[in-house]
Amino acid sequence: MASGVKREQWSSHLGFLAAAMGSAVGLGNIWRFPYLAGSNGGGAFLIPYLVGIAVCGLPLLMFEYAAGRHYRLGVMGAFKAMSRRYEVVGLAIAAMVFFILSYYLVVAGWTLGYLIATPIGKEAGFSAFTATWWPVACFVVTAVVCCGVVMLGVTKGIERTSRALLPLLAVVIVLMAGYGMTLEGRGEALSFLFKPDLSALGDPLVWARGFSQAFFSLGVGMGVMITYGSYMARESAIARSSVIVASGDVSVALLAGLAIFPLVFTFGGPPGAGPQLAFETLPQVFSHMPGGMLVGSAFYLLLFVAALTSAVSMLQVVAATISDRTGWSTSRATRWLVLPLLGLGLLSALSYAPADLRFFGQPVLDLMDTTFGTFGLLVGALVTCIAIFWLADGLAMKEQVGHGAPRRFVAWSGFLLGRYVAPITLLASLATLAASLIVLGELRGR
Ligand code: TRP
């Protein structure tokens, strides 16, 4: 754990909150949540998602910050400090984030492509888009921008970018949801989103997907919040910040639903289109509706901004791991990551381009999302729970979270939920997903 450079710190509590919120709010809220809800029973999906956030996500979020701030190290260093043998687990998590990031940037690149294409009226649907090399070019640009932000450092890069972009994101999503509420299809959309078809809750897969979405959306289980916590000032209240981040995250997901489904119901298009919802169904909607170019541009801007601030947080995990290990600055570590990131991401980028790159008959990107974004994430969350709630110094953790929070809340969330409920739920979700993969041969989050 060489530490040649002084560890940076967020310049203020607000700066930390902006960065943390920027990490949590991402494609997971605006692209993944609406399509998952759309294809998993609408309102019925909300229940497992919200239960997942409250019961497992929030406790993990709080205690990830606590572990980061207590050990003042990234995920690998923190795990090593908890138990020597766990260092390799931390390393595996950092590697997994790198894989998630590689395809996340590809989807972020698509949003950039649509952001450019929509205002010039060149919008032609997903298959036309991926029949060109545009997706690859957009991936490269997005990845380079992401590396650039991380190279600028925690305060000058990440914090400043999040502070500038988060208000923009909030304004756009509120305007879009407000616009959705003026449309004819709002009644149908509201009942689709909030009147659950309870029979869908009998399907364990809906639960497993809801839980995994809760983790993805908060961005817990992959060391991101440990890393961000390690730059947190002593005085910042962890419990309160976590509640703010989690409620902000849920609000953006719901607002995205309120923005998207009225459009879908008013201008036609199936709500259950799956991952294509944002890239096939919506562009069609935008091209048919009055003022669609403007609304469409706003929407892709929103997606791109959200994606960028999340991607940056994932890259910071890997950079911080290298920096803790070698004593290099995170900026220097990031410089070394640019080419590997481009190389790995290219595999996913090429799977949705004329090269149509596939492994085992599946586009590489889909395979990455299943392996790392769904399974890997649940495994990551499980080992993080074990590390933080079983191996770490429990008293120190509680003290970190306890600052300014009711004692009982800390005890409950940490020691009942974190120690027992979350790991059991995670195991059950993993088993369900594995069984569905074996029995049905399908996973793909749908
Ligand atoms: N939470 C982000 C989103 O909703 C993505 C994200 C950030 C993430 N950090 C993560 C996903 C760590 C998995 C693991 O898009």
pLDDT in tens, 355-389: 999 998 889 998 998 899 888 999 999 999 999 99
Q: Which two tokens stand for residue 44?
A: 């019925």
What is residue 410's predicted lDDT score, i.e. its pLDDT?
86
Atom from ligand 1 closest to the CA of residue 27: 15
Q: What are the backbone angles phi and psi of residue 363, rounded to the nearest 5°?
A: -55, 140
Secondary element (H or E) of residue 358: strand 358-359
Ligand 1 pocket: which of 75, 146, 310 to mutate (most atoms within 8 A of CB)? 310
pLDDT of 441 reads: 61
Q: How far apart are CA 240 and CA 405, in angstroms?
A: 7
Give 394 Cα–ligand 1 centroid separation in angstroms: 26
pLDDT, one tens digit per residue, over 249-303 is: 999 999 999 999 999 999 888 888 877 889 988 888 888 888 889 999 999 999 9
Residue owning tokens 């991401």: 345
The SS3 assignment for 363 reads strand
Q: How far is the CA of 217 from the centre of ligand 1 (A)?
A: 6
Question: Helices (H), strands (E): how many in the chain?
Answer: 22, 2
Please identify, by atom number, the ligand 1 atom nearest to the C-alpha of residue 380: 14
Ligand 1 midpoint to CA 373 (Å): 9
Q: Which residue bears the tokens 């770490």?
A: 392
Ligand 1 centroid from CA 153, angstroms = 20
Ligand 1 site residues, Cβ closer than 6 angstroms: 23-24, 26-29, 100, 216-217, 219, 222, 224, 310, 313-314, 377
Give the integer Cα–Cα distance in Å for 378 and 148: 30
Q: What is the largest CA-CA distance in the chain?
A: 61
Distance 170 CA to ligand 1 centre (A): 18
- CA–CA gap between residue 374 and residue 53 (Å, rounded): 16
Ligand 1 centre to CA of 168 (Å) is 19
Separation in Å, CA 335 to CA 147, 318, 320, 341:
8, 12, 12, 10
State both tokens at 60.
């993990």
The protein residue with its alpha carbon nearest to ligand 1, atom 8, reads 219
Centroid of ligand 1 to alpha carbon of 185 (angstroms): 31
Which ligand 1 atom is nearest residue 217's CA? 4
Distance from the alpha carbon of residue 218 to the mean position of ligand 1, in angstroms = 6
Choice from 25, 224, 245 to test ligand 1 binding pocket (greatest atom count within 8 A of CB):
224
Contacts of 395 (CB under 8 A, 6+ apart): none
Nearest atom in ligand 1 to 373's CA: 13
Ranges of the chain whose pLDDT falls below 50: 1-4, 443-446
Minimal-distance CA residue to ligand 1 atom 9? 219
